[in-house]
Amino acid sequence: MYTKPFNKQKGNCSDADEIIKWLRKFGPTSRTDLAYAFDFSRAKITPLVSDLIRRGIIREGGNIDTNEGRPPRLIRFKEDFGYAIGVDLGATSVDVGLADFSGHIVACFGEPLVLCSSPEIILKRICEIINDLVEKEKIGKECIIAIGLGVPGPVDFSTKLLVSPCGLPGWEVYPIQEYMKQQFPQAEIFIDNDANIMAFGELRAGIGKGVDNFIFLKVGTGIGAGIVCNGEIYQGSSGCSGDVGHICVDKEGPVCVCGNRGCLQSLASGKAIAEKATHGALEGQSPLLSERISSKENKLTAEDVSVAAAAGDAFSNKLLQESGELIGETLAGVVNVLNPSLLLIGGGVSNIGHQFLSSIRRAILRRSHPLSTRDLRIEYSSLGMKAGIIGAVSLALELFQMERRD
């Protein structure tokens, strides 16, 4: 699990590392407040802060307006101490962000990318994008100190390898970490499931900030969930938590990429919506979709369905409603088990429209225990398509071990 900054880890982290983790989570603060947070005396906090300033990791700048005497100065990260890369790798696209040491995204780039290509081809392209961003921002490659990658599949917690990624046999236990380390030997490499990465982005910089228990559901080519429990990413015993896309919702349903029948992903994902829309358009069930498909090589997307639904197309609205209900009915069981206070919907369908979200919300409220939903908020991701990049950057910076840099 990602470490809570305010919980001291016996034998693992120095006091300086704990201060860095605290600042990473809560932001700029004063020496007095920092000492209070850790129950340190002023005599103890002063040399710790001074040493971090000497090492170029933090700086003091800006005052806190208290209206009481001399205002205390803020302690904050020194932005140019080092830079982090965040990579959000999906089944059909990749987004890469470059951030300074405070976590501020200074540049980003995304493009379509078919993940069924070999890992070497995909990772080589990712490294090219990173190098282009670094060169464009005039940052030395040696200044990249940490890289976080979100990947679409279960990641073994102990080995950081993709295990049985559905539909991606070439990525099975491929040494992603080692490949990236060869290209960026000066950087520490961190890998996790893309839904976990997105949930972490919302936890650190989005609507999930300060929320101890929530679920982030990614709906794109596939469906997966990132679970935040007691303020931490819950990864289960081996790293396979949140794989809700392969919960069976119809035993007689279509065969899923995992080999089983009737998985939620095979019936309600963005890919499933697009496939149903394409089939309906070719059969003439929607004049609007039939018109759109003629210019799209007989292949529609979930976005096409969203546009048609917004224009009042009955068939498209029915598709969104059915998919939303299936997702909501599945999530109702998850809500009953975990009792989150917030449920966020993100991924490729995060801009698909309110009909989809309303259907999810109605199904959850209908099928969940009243106590489980009494204080539950169900919203689209506040970070949108940047949730993955921000989460990957946050992961890289938060797990970055300062003692290795001395």
Strand, coil or helix: 248: strand
Please give the share of the chain, as a percent, with pLDDT higher than 70: 93
Q: Answer yes or no: is pLDDT of 52 > 60.
A: yes
pLDDT at 87: 98
Look up tokens 């539950």; give the residue: 376
Q: According to the model, what pLDDT value does residue 4 have?
A: 38
Which pair of structure tokens corresponds to residue 35?
């000492």
Task: Write down the pLDDT at residue 132.
Answer: 97
For residue range 173-222, what is the model confidence (pLDDT) as tens digits?
Answer: 999 999 999 999 999 999 999 999 999 999 999 999 999 999 999 999 99
* Tokens (6 digits) for 166: 């559905």
Q: What is the pLDDT of residue 355?
A: 87
Per-residue pLDDT at 296: 80
pLDDT at 353: 80
Distances in Å between the Cα of 97 and the Cα atoms of 113, 123, 134, 162, 253 are: 16, 15, 10, 22, 39
Contact (Cβ atoms closer than 8 angstroms) between residue 217 and residue 193: no
Query: What's the pLDDT score for residue 112?
Result: 92
Residue 211 has what pLDDT?
A: 96
The C-alpha atoms of residue 279 and residue 159 are separated, in whole angstroms, by 41
Higher-confidence residue: 119 or 2? 119
Please give the residue that has the higher pLDDT: either 12 or 252: 252
CB distance 206 to 382 below 8 Å: yes
pLDDT tens for 276-291 read: 999 999 999 999 999 9
Rounded to the nearest integer, the mean pLDDT of the chain is 90
Q: How many helices (H) and strands (E) does the chain have?
A: 14, 12
| Percent residues over pLDDT 90 in the chain | 76
Block residue for tokens 């987004």? 95
- Band of pLDDT at residue 315, cut at 50, 70 and 90: very high
Q: What is the pLDDT of residue 352?
A: 84
Reading the block at residue 100, the tokens are 């300074």
Mean pLDDT of 36-43: 92
**Separation of alpha carbons 125 and 113, rounded Å:** 9
Domains within the chain, CATH numbers bracketed = 15-77 (1.10.10.10), 82-201+387-405 (3.30.420.40), 209-382 (3.30.420.40)
pLDDT, residue 5, reads 37
Asked if residue 165 has pLDDT above 70, the reply is: yes
Structure tokens of 358?
A: 């309303």
Structure tokens at 108: 């980003």
Average pLDDT over residues 239-253: 94
Whether 244 contacts 269, CB under 8 Å:
no
Q: Which tens digits make up the pLDDT trace of 87-145?
A: 999 988 999 999 999 999 999 999 998 887 789 999 999 999 999 999 999 999 999 99
**Hey, what amino acid is at 73?**
R
pLDDT value at residue 404: 52
Residue labelled with tokens 């140019």: 80
pLDDT of residue 38: 92
pLDDT of residue 7: 43
Do residues 98 and 133 make contact, with C-beta atoms less than 8 angstroms apart?
yes
Distance between CA 305 and CA 294 in Å, rounded?
14
Q: Read off the pTM.
A: 0.91
pLDDT at res. 63: 59
pLDDT band at 354 (very low <50, low <70, confident <90, very high): confident
